[in-house]
């Protein structure tokens, strides 16, 4: 859906921001670009919607070289979310959200109805927040409006530049989770820039780890954490990369103990043993561990798609899973 072919960007002052970059983002995929400040992430992103033109190489969106597409038409197909949000201060939240549909010539009522729908989608109440001005919202709410506005015209591609950077860590994690839930339904092709390795790991289907103007590794978070391609990547992802991997390692059936005694109890106990903490199969090891630590029982019931217990996760199972999670991955293996 988005394809970089040997793209170099040299600014007028001679700075090479991006050097011979090639990568591809599949349709419906969320790719995070992560690296230290000044490594060329924003430059990369801005070449997709032609806010920056490559010095050499090509950028294709949906098979089309963007150099040949009218920038205004291009930008209407590409949602753009930035840290500073960039809401119009003298327009209401509803009208801010309706900006692109209005530009596209939608009737006012249709644009506003769409805006209200989008505000609801990002967890704001159109009746309460819609009539307000941006200054009357919290930072987290403004970020939500930024996402709603970017999605309003239903663009196939979304560019997000440090979209959750301006809020405190708790709000940030909530916004990240909300966006992931949203992405699971809207399935946009997303490029998300961040300098935060945790965010890159949590959000990305795949992640591009940048060195200076170049991608050092482009792979799934589990593989980047499990098998860093270079010492630079290993250093960037941190010595606690094994722990970080817990967030992207799901609990699998092989981690479970069948618990015969427990099975009886499920059958016999009122409500099928509902007092025990339960997590669905596929929960991250990190969340499973957190749940385990919140309860005294020393085990979790893991349930299948139909909600029925599949087995229990005990400290021994956690240990097996941890060893699996922290073992180096086969670089050829794909999930
Ligand atoms: N308009 C510009 N003119 C000259 N240099 C620029 C310009 N924009 C960015 N740069 C430089 O290009 C490099 C990459 O910048 P940028 O893409 O913004 O990095 P990042 O988003 O990773 O922090 C930096 O050295 C930055 O100073
Ligand atoms: Mg930047």
Q: What is the pLDDT of residue 83?
A: 76
Beta carbon of 185 within 6 Å of any ligand 1 atom? no
Q: Which of 275, 287, 281 is nearest to 309 (CA)?
A: 281
* pTM of the predicted protein model: 0.83
Q: Which two tokens stand for residue 294?
A: 């919140």
Q: What is the pLDDT of residue 113?
A: 93
Owner of token pair 């939240």: 93
Q: Tens digit of pLDDT for each residue in 210-254?
A: 999 999 999 999 889 988 999 999 999 987 887 788 888 889 888
Q: How far apart are CA 18 and CA 11, in angstroms?
A: 10
Q: What are phi and psi of 209, to 5 degrees?
A: -90, 115
- How close is the Cα of 23 to the center of ligand 2, in Å? 19
Domains of the chain (ranges plus CATH)?
2-247 (3.40.50.300), 253-326 (3.10.580.10)
- What is the residue-wise DSSP string for 50-105? TSS--SEEEEEETTEEGGGS-HHHHHHTEEEEETT----TTS-HHHHHTHHHHHTT
Q: Which two tokens stand for residue 218?
A: 């482009």
Q: What is the pLDDT of residue 335?
A: 43
Q: What is the pLDDT of residue 268?
A: 37
> In what side-by-side order are the strands of the sheet with 64-65?
16-25, 2-10, 56-61, 64-65
Q: How far apart are CA 150 and CA 158, in angstroms?
A: 7
Q: How far apart are CA 189 and CA 261, in angstroms?
A: 47
Beta carbon of 165 within 6 Å of any ligand 1 atom? no
Beta carbon of 213 within 6 Å of any ligand 1 atom? no
Q: Which two tokens stand for residue 303?
A: 């349930």
> In what side-by-side order are the strands of the sheet with 309-313?
278-280, 300-303, 309-313
Torsion angle defined by CA atoms of residues 12, 13, 19 and 20, in that order, rounded to the nearest 10 degrees: 30
Q: What is the pLDDT of residue 260?
A: 57
Q: Which two tokens stand for residue 178?
A: 């909300």
∠ CA 97-99-105, rounded to 5°: 130
Q: Whose CA is nearest to atom 13 of ligand 1?
A: 17
Residues lining ion ligand 2 (Cβ < 5 A) are: 42
293 CB-near residues (< 8 Å, 6+ apart): none
Note the residue count of the chain: 335
Q: What is the pLDDT of residue 226?
A: 85
Owner of token pair 């991608």: 215
Q: What is the pLDDT of residue 15?
A: 95
CB 20 within 8 A of CB 7: yes
Q: Which ligand is nearest to the CA of 52?
A: 1
β-bridge partners, 192:
32, 160
Q: Tens digit of pLDDT for each residue in 97-125?
A: 998 888 888 899 999 999 999 999 888 99
Q: How far apart are CA 265 and CA 154, in angstroms?
A: 49
Q: What is the pLDDT of residue 187?
A: 93
- How close is the Cα of 33 to the center of ligand 1, in Å? 15
Q: How far apart are CA 168 and CA 193, in angstroms?
A: 18
Those residues of the chain that have pLDDT short of 70 are: 259-275, 325-335
């Amino acid at each position: 859906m988005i394809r970089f072919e040997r793209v170099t960007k040299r600014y007028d002052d001679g700075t090479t921001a991006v050097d011979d970059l090639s990568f591809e983002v599949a349709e419906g995929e969320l790719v995070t670009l992560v690296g230290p400040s000044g490594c060329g992430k924003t430059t990369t992103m801005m070449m997709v919607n032609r806010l920056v033109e490559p010095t050499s190489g090509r950028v294709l969106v949906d098979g089309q070289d963007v150099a040949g597409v009218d920038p205004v038409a291009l930008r209407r197909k590409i949602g753009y979310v930035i840290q500073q949000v960039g809401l119009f201060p003298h327009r209401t939240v509803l009208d801010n959200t309706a900006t692109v549909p209005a530009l596209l010539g939608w009737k006012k009522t249709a644009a506003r109805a769409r805006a209200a729908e989008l505000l609801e989608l990002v967890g704001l109440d159109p009746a309460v927040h819609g009539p307000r001005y941006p200054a009357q919202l919290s930072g987290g709410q403004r970020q939500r409006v930024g996402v709603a506005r970017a999605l309003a015209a239903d663009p196939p591609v979304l560019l997000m530049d440090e979209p959750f950077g301006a809020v405190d860590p708790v709000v940030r994690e909530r916004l990240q989770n909300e966006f992931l839930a949203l992405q699971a339904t809207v399935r946009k092709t997303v490029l998300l820039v961040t300098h935060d390795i945790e965010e890159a790991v949590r959000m990305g289907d795949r992640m591009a780890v940048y060195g200076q103007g170049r991608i050092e590794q482009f792979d799934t978070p589990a593989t980047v954490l499990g098998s860093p391609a270079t010492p630079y990547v290993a250093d960037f992802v941190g010595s606690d990369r094994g722990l970080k991997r817990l967030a992207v390692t799901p609990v699998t059936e092989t981690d479970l103990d069948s618990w015969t005694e427990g099975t009886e109890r499920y059958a016999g106990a009122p409500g099928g043993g509902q007092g025990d903490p339960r997590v669905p199969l596929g929960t991250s090891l990190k969340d499973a561990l957190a749940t385990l630590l919140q309860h005294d029982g020393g085990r979790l019931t893991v349930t299948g798609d139909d909600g029925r217990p599949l087995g229990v996760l005990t400290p021994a199972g956690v240990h097996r899973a941890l060893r699996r999670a922290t073992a180096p991955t086969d670089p050829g293996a794909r999930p």
